Amino acid sequence: MKKSRLVMIGNGMAGVRTLEELLAIAPDLHDITVFGAEPHPNYNRILLSPVLAGEQTLEEIVLNDWSWYQDHGITLHAGCTVTDVDRARRIVQAVDANGAVVSAPYDRLIMATGSNPFMLPIPGNELKGVLAYRDIADTLAMIDAAARYRHAVVIGGGLLGLEAANGLMKRGMECTVVHVGDWLMERQLDDTAGDLLKKSLIERGMKFLLQAHTQELLGDEHTGRVRAVRFKDGSEVPADLVVMAVGIRPNTGLAERMHLHVNRGIVVSDTMQTVTDARIYAVGECAAHRGVAYGLVAPLFEQGKVLANHLAEFGIGRYQGSLTSTKLKVTGIDLFSAGNFRGGGATEEIIMSDPGGGVYKKLVLEDDRLVGPACTAIPWMAVGTSSCCAKGAAWPTSAIG
């Protein structure tokens, strides 16, 4: 029987997990071709922070090495950027690192194009030494800068920004985190937990400027490299390296050129099929399901399982959305939040707060159901305290109904 031609655009975690799930249940159904813009096999993007901090190597975070693709009969075009998809003829066209055109026909197509980091549209954002923090190339550039320069500024006090700042500090740089919010990680923590986290990071040597609005980046006229960050109040801080960690946007440029319906992402159904073309699917950070584009790995893996089930022609899987959770990857700090951690409305809250011990735990209940746990613990500060609920600390059974 002639195999169906399955082509995937994107070689990241969500897309390759989809292929892993598919190969586990229908290994001989498709001829698979993968286009990846990066010149690397599939790796764990989540672990770039430990690589930056010197706690792991790039080799250790590879999920599927070159031999995996070969062993499973997958044609991988690494370092190859897709430029066009002819939906009428069902052909994907790309350009490799040498400028050569590569094409592949498809019967089914997976869009797994991920997301792009958002760069603040301010003067100086194209200076040398101004980076996003998204892939291996960014990580290597930051490691190189840490070996040659002293002052780093990270714009963004969210999860990724704090992990970047921690890694740069471990590489020997003096690091200032600039954040427009009133407290750190306001999308995952309330003000009490955010202040506790800030205190612990300050004791490690990290500096913070909160409620700070960046106006422009100043450059050295001789080298063209960034030298300072200027704020709207006229103040400045020195910067040999500026890392912008202010969010991501679904990478939908190609989808838009293909005239797929895009709204916050490539709009998909519960089977991860695009609503525009039933032969084309989208999975991962580029997809928008029921108005939501997820940026965390757990929902993307759930999507991949459903998509694999559909591509295997089982037809029983449906994706109905995900409850997201967050964990900070900074050694010595246990931080976890999920669901409705803020509370309010008809909810009830159970809080255990020990600022001196560096522990804060919170349960949010609604109709006798747990809807939002959050906790922060700094074990190296704590004396005789339990660790974070993410590590399995027990709560009273009455608290969870």
* Beta-bridge partner residues of 142: none
Least confident of 25-29, 153-157, 327-331: 327-331
A 10 A CB-CB count for 142 gives 24
Write down the pTM of the prediction: 0.86
Same fold for the pair 4-115+248-311 and 119-244: yes
AA letter at 213? H
Confidence of residue 398 (pLDDT cuts 50, 70, 90): very low
Please give the Cα distance from 201 to 257 (Å, whole number). 44
Please give the Cα distance from 31 to 49 (Å, whole number). 35
Instruction: Give me the percent of the chain exceeding a pLDDT of 70.
Output: 92
pLDDT higher than 60, residue 390: no
Report the first-to-last Cα separation within the chain, whole angstroms.
55
Instruction: Report pLDDT for 114.
Output: 97
Instruction: Report pLDDT for 335.
Output: 77
Residues 83-113 have pLDDT tens digits of 999 999 999 999 999 999 999 999 999 999 9
Instruction: Report pLDDT for 69.
Output: 98
Instruction: Report pLDDT for 379.
Output: 43
Handedness of CA 4, 10, 43, 41 (dihedral sign): positive
Instruction: Report pLDDT for 385.
Output: 27
Please give the Cα distance from 323 to 296 (Å, whole number). 10
Please give the sequence-ordered ranges of beta strands (E in DSSP) within 189-340, or none if there are none.
Answer: 207-210, 214-219, 226-231, 236-238, 241-244, 248-250, 266-268, 280-282, 287-289, 325-327, 334-338
Residue 314 phi, psi (nearest 5): -80, -35
Confidence of residue 360 (pLDDT cuts 50, 70, 90): confident
* Beta-bridge partner residues of 248: 117
Question: In the 8-state DSSP scheme, what is residue 89?
Answer: T
Instruction: Report pLDDT for 101.
Output: 97
Instruction: Give me the percent of the chain exceeding a pLDDT of 90.
Output: 75
- Spelled out in words, what is the top-level CATH class assigned to the domain 119-244? alpha beta
Confidence of residue 331 (pLDDT cuts 50, 70, 90): low
The Cα-based distances of 76 to 6, 48, 92, 134 in angstroms read: 12, 23, 14, 22
Confidence of residue 377 (pLDDT cuts 50, 70, 90): low
pLDDT higher than 50, residue 397: no
pLDDT higher than 60, residue 267: yes
Q: What is the mean pLDDT of the chain?
A: 90
Instruction: Report pLDDT for 340.
Output: 73
pLDDT higher than 70, residue 13: yes
> What residues does each domain of the chain span?
4-115+248-311, 119-244, 332-400
Residues 38-86 have pLDDT tens digits of 999 999 999 999 999 999 999 999 999 999 999 999 999 999 999 999 9
Instruction: Report pLDDT for 216.
Output: 98
pLDDT higher than 60, residue 354: yes
Higher pLDDT, 189 or 80: 80
Give the list of residues 6+ apart from residue 331 with CB closer than 8 angstroms, or none: 53, 55
Instruction: Report pLDDT for 391.
Output: 32
Least confident of 83-97, 203-217, 262-276, 323-337: 323-337
**CATH architecture, domain defined by 4-115+248-311:** 3-Layer(bba) Sandwich (3.50)
Residues 144-178 have pLDDT tens digits of 999 999 999 999 999 999 999 999 999 999 999 99
C-alpha dihedral (317, 318, 324, 329), degrees to nearest 10: 30
- What number of residues does the chain have? 401
Sheet with 174-179: list strands edge to edge: 130-132, 241-244, 151-155, 174-179, 207-210
| Paired sense of beta strands 226-231 and 91-95, if any | unpaired
> Tokens in use for 195?
């202040």
